[in-house]
Amino acid sequence: MPLASTGFTLGDFKDFLKTVLATTAALCLSPTVSLAANGRLPGNISPLHYDLTVIPAIETSTFAGEVHIDIDVATATPTVVLNTESLTLDRVTIDGAPATGVTQDKDSQTATLTAASPLAPGHHTVDIAYRGVIEKTARGLFQLDYASGDAPAGAPGAGAATAHMLSTQFEAGDARRFLPCWDEPSAKATFSLSIMAPQGQMAVSNMPVKADEAMADGRHLVHFQQTPRMSSYLLFVGVGDLERATAKAGDVEIGAVVRRGSVDKARFALETAAAILARYNDYFGTPYPLPKLDFVAIPGAGGFGAMENWGAIMSFEKDMLLDPALATEAARQRVFQVVAHEMAHQWFGDLVTMAWWDDLWLNEGFASWMETKAMQALHPDWSPWLVAMPAMESAKRLDARASTHPVVQPINSVAEADEAFDDITYDKGQAVIRMVEATVGETVFRDGVRRYMKRNAYGNATTRDLWKAVEEAGGKDVLRIATDFITKPGIPLVSVSATCGASGPAPKAHPAHKGRKGAPEPAPAPSGGTTQVSLRQSRFATEPVTIPDQYHLSDRLWAIPVPLATVGDGAPAHTLLTALTGKAAVPGCGPLLANAGQTGYFRVAYTEPAFKALVDHVDRLAPIDQLGLMYDSAALGEAGQMAMSDSLALIRALPVNADPAVWQQAADYLRDVDDFYAGGSSTGGTGAGGISPAQAAFRAFARGVLAPALSAIGWDPQPGQGDKVGLERTALISALGSFDDPNTLTEARHRLASDGTDPTALPPAIRLAVITTVAQHADAATFDRLHALASSTTDPLARRQLYGALGAVRDPVLAQKVLDLSLTPEAGTTLAPQLILAVADANPDLAWRFITSHVDAVEASLDQMQRYEFFAGVARRSADPARIDELNAYAEAHVPVSGRQGIAKAVGAIAYRAKVARERLPQVDAWLATLPTTR
């Protein structure tokens, strides 16, 4: 039994630890253990309840634990097999009798406990005293160090003390680093947790505190109430010098738990959570079942933003706290998204959990979609579906690669589960949900979700369970549509052609708006008639895709809901394309728009005249359709199925008063094209500034397109502009800075005082864009001033901004300085990956050489979610084909075969960038040469 419940005192526990070596002789180690064929634990034993006490020793980076486990045995067995990793099992008893054998296997991360006599079916108990390691990166029980005084810990000349905080991170398979357990999603149990905390420090877990027991040495043992039945990866505990602010939402207490002195920065998150909870209670039809919901913000950063521990959501401070002096509008929206996403998990993931990691998308895809639904309800002025479009576009681009995978994919190991947290799982998942909801209607879909929740509460479910519930609620064709998009890899391409039998003359084509001084003249109204549409589907791929010969045609097709509309003729008409080809009739004779409203997960290919007609009427398209048309034409252009300049012509035709979100994404895409030039221009040689004449011509074009848009909104907020304009402003300043716009650079330098004064005087909306623009073009003196400013800044959020800006410097000599400091105490483990990735954006080859020369030091700064992806993430920024062989060599030496999905994606990305630069940019160069001279 644990310390908290048996009368076994702290002194007894210490005496016990002193005699460990005398008792471990009987505990042997074995290299093998019997597991299921797919690497999962045998299914003959289920945990019912864990009673756990943990005593951390931060000075030695270790902890001691004791756990009492109630189990149910389904079939007679002589052994108990459970998960352990980096734990030393010192004492094991089964039903009160010492285990006759304890074997641990590092490869399978399991322990096999042999009972004194075979266990009959029924209830049994297991007691284990053990020791573990406090990690330095975000896995298991880990330690965070931060400055507690007037200067940052580790900074040159810093006089501040270093404070420590403990936190846990268990997804996907790291609860086994904290306690011996059945560390699988379907092995749900209840937990009673107690943890020892230093004097004056707070401990927080999934449930409220039950009792707080003072120890003679000044520490206190904090006991928490028993949790509901839940998966092991959702258990959480944090300890530190913390404070807690609260708000009430009905009967639930919502808390913001932050390091002392930061509580005011959590107000927005706290208010957001309170507003969202009532809406989620209604939407899911099942009220949030715990008495409290804490948001725990921890310093630093990792390979993830937040974790949905039930009742104790943990996030890094950058994703939860807002400093009014520093926060941009993008940061505010990011906090909203994180809060809404993790709160959605309290139902989709925590209350109802996927049965196994291959259905991870049920957690992440649904939560990603739900965060946008919450934003639509509470901040419709943010244009939530426009905000979500870039993420779904990222998924579409990945899905066109040979290295893609189905949303539901086989997962056979923890390493494979860690790699499943990608854009396909999150953002293709949310795109498919959005498509299904748009097809069946909001009410039907919501009613299906409510059925799913009630039917599977406190249990586990599969993808089919969700779709079945939606169909039962009245969703026609749901299983057919959803199954195709969830189980088949890749993204469809719908090719459309149209003819119109008009009752009157067709509307005259509206000329593209070439001027940048105001809104265009209104286009003629549609004149009636009916457009006859021919549809054809195929798979859109940017690389050759091998489809096994035994696949039937139906295996290569999707059931695709296609919304069709003619410009100016009202709501779209929906048709379901299930065969290779299909036909539809659409009211009106204006230019045809397929995927109207962008609710479908597919690309659209138009005939050349049809695309030009849409460009001519771009000012009459909804903003979301302007974005969809830009994204599709860009992807098809890069793939050689359209002219790559078509998407640039579309951007050039945008009215200056287009939706801010459209301009934001247009600026980002122009930067993407610039990256293709940086990887290898179609025109040889380099000119002024180290770039080729072709890239210089492209940058002049980009400046000519974006500068009028920035001029129209100005550098400073104006009354009535709204929050979205702030995001547009930031994107335009950043893009124009990267395109060497002299006016932008002059203004940025002017606003960031050259004597290095505190830049918090800058308006938060443009602060980061201004600093990054200056740092990008910094000389040695400017770099030194910015470095001094970063190293003297105490606020962790400001430090991340300033050091991240340093990494944007283009000068390779200065960029090398950033790389060198990334592995020093000044940066620390949590900042190092950010600095390296920042350098890789402008100097990918330099960053690659650095990390491959310091593999061990870099890997020591990475958490479990980053471990197999980070090197691939640096490499994929290059367009040098030689990088492919180097990346594969790194993988052979350092990455297990089961963890190489990210490597394959990076290889594809490098090859793709090189191909676009080689084969597509010459057409862009030729098109640019036909345009009037731009500055």
Q: CA-CA distance, 230 to 289, in Å (whole number)?
A: 12
DSSP code for 689: G
Beta-strand (E) ranges in 58-159?
62-73, 77-83, 88-94, 97-98, 101-105, 110-119, 122-133, 140-147
Q: Is 307 annotated as a binding residue?
A: yes
Q: CA-CA distance, 768 to 650, in Å (whole number)?
A: 29
Let me know: does 317 contact 295? Beta carbons within 8 Å.
Answer: no
Is residue 214 classed exposed, middle or buried when 0-12, 13-18 and 19+ CB atoms within 10 A define those classes? exposed
Q: Are strands 97-98 and 459-461 parallel, antiparallel or unpaired?
A: unpaired
Q: CA-CA distance, 625 to 654, in Å (whole number)?
A: 12
Query: Is 342 one of the catalytic residues?
Result: yes
Let me know: does 64 contact 13? Beta carbons within 8 Å.
Answer: yes
Calculate helix-pair angle for 442-456, 267-284, nearest 10 degrees. 90
Q: Is 420 annotated as a binding residue?
A: no
Q: Is 341 annotated as a binding residue?
A: yes
CA atoms within 13 A on the CB side of 264: 4
Q: Is 207 annotated as a binding residue?
A: no
Q: CA-CA distance, 462 to 692, in Å (whole number)?
A: 53
Let me know: does 143 contact 134? Beta carbons within 8 Å.
Answer: yes
* CB within 8 Å of 825: residues ≥ 6 apart: 153, 154
Nearest to 184 by CA among 122, 227, 232, 222: 232
Place of tokens 């939402």: 249
Element (H or E) spanning 773, and its range? helix 764-776
Q: CA-CA distance, 43 to 75, in Å (whole number)?
A: 9
Q: Is 859 annotated as a binding residue?
A: no
Q: Is 638 annotated as a binding residue?
A: no
Q: Which of 342, 747, 826, 869 is catalytic?
A: 342
Q: Is 332 annotated as a binding residue?
A: no
Q: Is 869 annotated as a binding residue?
A: no
DSSP code for 40: P
3-state secondary structure 482-507: HHHHHHCCCEEEEEEEEEEECCCCCC
Backbone dihedral region for residue 436 (phi beyond 0: left; psi -120 to 50: alpha; all else: beta) = alpha
Residue numbering of the annotated binding site: 171, 305-309, 341, 345, 364, 867
Catalytic residues: 342
Residue numbering of the annotated binding site for substrate: 171, 305-309, 867
Residue numbering of the annotated binding site for Zn(2+): 341, 345, 364
